[in-house]
Amino acid sequence: MIKSLRMTVLAGLASSAAVFATASNAVEIEYWQYFFDARVTAMEQLIENFEAANPDITVKMTTFPYADYRTKVAAAIPAGEGPDVVQLFYGWLTDYIDAELIQPLPEAEFPAADIDASFFPMVQAMKVDGQYYALPTAVRSLALFYNERLFEEAGIDGPPATLDELVEDAKKLTKKDGAGNITQVGLTTGMTAQDHHWFREVLIRQFGGEPYKDNYRTVNYNTEAGLKALQYYADLEKTHEVTSSGFMDEPQAAFKAGRAGMHIDGSFRIGSLADIRGLKWGVAELPVGPDGTASNYSSYWVNAITTKSEGEARDAAVKFMQYVTSDEAMQVWLEVVGELPAKPSVGMTDENANDPLFGPFIRGLENAHTTIFANESAQRQVLVDMVARTDIQGMPLEESLAQAAEDEQKILDEYYAD
Amino acid sequence: MTFYRNLTIRQKQIAWAWAFLAVPVLFYGIIRFYPTGNAILISFQDWNLLGDRTWSGLENYRKLVADPVFWKVFKNTFLYLILGTPISLVLSFIIAYQLDKVRFMHSTLRMLYFLPFMTSAVAMAWVWRWFYQPVPTGLFNNLLAQLGIPQIAFLNSTTNALPSVLAPAVWAGLGFQIIIFMAGLRAIPVSYYEAARIDGVGWWTQLTQITIPLLRPTIVFIVVFSSIGFLRIFDHVYNMTTNNPGGPLNATKPLVLMIYGTAFNDFDMGYAAAQTVVLFVILLIVSLLQLRLLRSE
């Protein structure tokens, strides 16, 4: 509180000094994001570059802890306070449009057809009725992390390319004690982590299905393909015994401890794995399905112009949005935050696409899908419960899958009802 | 100022009394009663934190009654109460009763029992969460595995999870109850016991005829206090099941955790407020009932 007060006073002094210095044609716009160290550093760098190129515009960045972010935004904008450009999770877009917190990006500067062509296809989830409301600087996708030391020990020469190879390699990597308890898993699993994305957007599609219809408003996985996908997932633990959900509490913890051969996770995990001593790991694209289908899941944070922004400030906000979605900004974001560029023109450069760490994630973006969630945590819970019912209560897979589809449809219906 | 000078002494005293009372009155008004009233209001509305609040009448309550998760959670909440309160009451009484007689290292022992009460619930829940893990990380399961006994799914089970979560919560509250019981025991006049011993009465009769009846006010306090605590259990459950809050399959989810999830994951503030009102009513009824039952005679 005292710190923020002091910041306001300082900012006030600085801005009044700026007013005296550059007469009256300077515009100040405000940018809000939630607090995450690397993202703040990257944005500071972008603001500095932007201000150098546009000396008549100053950008003031304010950050909030993640937990308070939504409430603050909701309270400030209707009151005419707060940001001109705001950061939000892609899944919140509908809520923000409904609450009239953000305005569409102007067609003149952000022609929808150009964006369709220049960004990775999953960004089209940000288009409502032909108009883009928000755009990402960076995106995230999934890939397979593998422990090189354990691979060597098991005599496997490279990461698996197909789902069948995944099972075979996992078998070689699994270790058990005398009583049959697993002490090292071949592959980590857990619907509570990233597996619900892997199941939804990757496995179901690889077994020939389409997880949702009507722009993610109708659940469509209670099908043969859905059942095959669930069978494959459940078999990893039940039939092949190469994994145990909840092993070492969290999948990433098991991988970090060197007790897991393979681990599916997002690009945001790279940073925390880089610091683990003695862990030698590599990244590979997700294994392809039985018919060679590659698929991936992508999520991202976007920036949008708020409804509070008008006149000069809005013009400045548009310029700022253009800059933060430029190729230059995306390269900065990749280098500072480690998140992937949202445009193929930056991502698919030779250097980026063949980067040993980021490459597999970036190549995955080409066939990535973005689930349009109504309520991500509730929809994740549906899949967590689906597996728990078969695992703990011994419910047949068909029955549990049908119930999951029904439960998730209920969430979607309720959300889209009003 | 002249206005003040013209007041009688009695009126001045009242003015001063209110001046001092103003702080707690304002505090309670603004920090307690205003939000409580607001919560009751929101329970009849539809609000996602972002848009406008709209009236929805009894819709949130209708949804509550029809929600199977709510009834599961309702049952869990009472399970925490029905298991937690008597177990912690009996345990803390036995420990306090014995501790009262111990002279050797009395204060050290008392401190050891009191220590968990001072420990952060979050830290404690995480340590217990790791104790409960399967092989190779969990302490309990590693011990079982070394003895050649099959592993027990402490947390990943719909039947074991609730008692497993409850155990550290009981342990944590024990220290406080022991201290209260010991104070109660010390307050019983020694002359009663001397008279009993002169009459040649055994320890069991002393316990049931003197100690327990005279401890009634202490017992009432502890029962009410710990009941409210178990009805509001949250920290332990949330921290031991963060990956799958209240899971597996809602087996450990108490009402407060459901309220939290509805409000801050689903952003369905109206529905969350309706659940809060129900919790408020339950707490009120349980407290009044216990006060009446235990205070009669």
- For residue A179, which residues of chain B lie inside 8 Å, CB to CB? 145, 148, 150
User: Is residue A369 classed as helix, strand or coil in its secondary structure?
Assistant: strand
pLDDT by residue (tens digit) across A264-316?
999 888 878 888 888 999 999 999 999 999 999 999 999 999 999 999 999 99
A246–B contact, CB cutoff 8 A: yes
Arithmetic mean of pLDDT over chain B: 91
| A25 band by pLDDT with thresholds 50, 70 and 90 | low
Helix/strand/coil for A326: coil
pLDDT, average across residues A184-198? 94
In this prediction, residues B266-287 reach a mean pLDDT of 92
Per-residue pLDDT tens digits for A59-107: 999 998 887 888 788 888 878 888 999 999 898 888 888 888 899 999 9
Question: What does DSSP say about strands A260-266 and A135-147: parallel, antiparallel, or unpaired?
Answer: antiparallel
pLDDT at B87 over 90: yes
pLDDT-wise least confident of A10-14, A36-40, A404-408, B20-24: A10-14
pLDDT of residue B296: 59
CATH class of this structure's domain A2-140+299-369:
alpha beta
A366-384 tens-digit pLDDT: 899 999 888 888 999 999 9
Confidence of residue A179 (pLDDT cuts 50, 70, 90): confident
**Three-state DSSP class for residue A92:** helix
Residues of B with Cβ-Cβ distance to A249 under 8 angstroms: 129-130, 133, 137, 243
For residue B157, the 8-state DSSP code is S
Tell me if B129 and A248 make a contact (CB, 8 A cut-off).
Answer: no
Q: Whole-number mean pLDDT of chain A?
A: 90
Chain A contact present for B51, CB below 8 A: yes
- Which of B135, B140, B155, B262 to mutate: most A Cβ within 10 Å? B135
B145 CB near a chain A CB, below 8 Å? Answer: yes
For residue B146, the chain A residue with the least C-alpha distance is: A179
Whether A2-140+299-369 shares its CATH topology with A141-297+372-417 is answered yes
Shortest distance, CA B85 to any CA of chain A (angstroms): 29
Q: How far is CA A8 from the centre of its chain?
A: 32
Is the separation of the CB atoms in A201 and A220 below 8 Å?
Answer: no
Q: A90: which DSSP letter? A: G
Which residue is associated with the tokens 């501790």?
B99
Q: Which CATH superfamily is domain A141-297+372-417 in?
A: Periplasmic binding protein-like II (3.40.190.10)
Strand A131-132 and strand A127-128: pairing? antiparallel
The whole-angstrom separation of Cα A27 and Cα A55 is 10
Q: Fill in the DSSP letter of residue A366.
A: G
Query: Which chain A residues touch B249 with a CB distance below 8 Å?
Result: 385, 388-389, 392-393
CB contact under 8 A, A95 and B267: yes
- A411 has a pLDDT exceeding 90: yes
Give A407 to chain B, closest Cα distance, Å: 12
- Residue B254 pLDDT > 70, yes or no? yes
Mean pLDDT of A126-139: 93
> Side-chain half-sphere of A291: how many Cα atoms within 13 Å?
10
Answer whether residue A24 shows pLDDT above 80: no
- Band (pLDDT 50/70/90 cuts) for residue A418 is low
Structural domain boundaries in chain A: 2-140+299-369, 141-297+372-417
Residue in A248, A258, A254 with CA at minimum distance from that of residue A281: A258
Q: Does position A14 have pLDDT exceeding 60, yes or no?
A: no
Reply yes or no: is the peptide bond before residue B245 cis, omega within 30 of 0.
no
Is A398 a residue whose pLDDT tops 60?
A: yes
Q: What is the ipTM of this complex?
A: 0.85
Identity of the amino acid at A182: I
Residue B49 touches chain A, beta carbons under 8 Å: yes
Residue A277 CA to its chain's centroid (Å): 27
Chain A residues lying within 8 Å of B271, measured CB to CB? none
| Cβ atoms A368, A360 nearer than 8 A | no
- Nearest to residue B82, comparing CAs of B225, B222, B215, B231? B231
pLDDT value at residue B266? 85
Beta bridge partners of A63: A33
CB nearest to B266's CB, from A248, A378, A392: A378
| Contact yes or no for A248 and B137 at CB 8 A | yes
Question: Where along chain B do its domains lie?
Answer: 1-42, 60-295
Query: Can you identify the CATH homologous superfamily of domain B60-295?
Result: MetI-like (1.10.3720.10)
Cβ-count burial of B20 within 10 angstroms (0-12 exposed, 13-18 middle, 19+ buried)?
A: exposed
Radius of gyration of chain A (CA): 23
Give the per-residue pLDDT at A19. 43
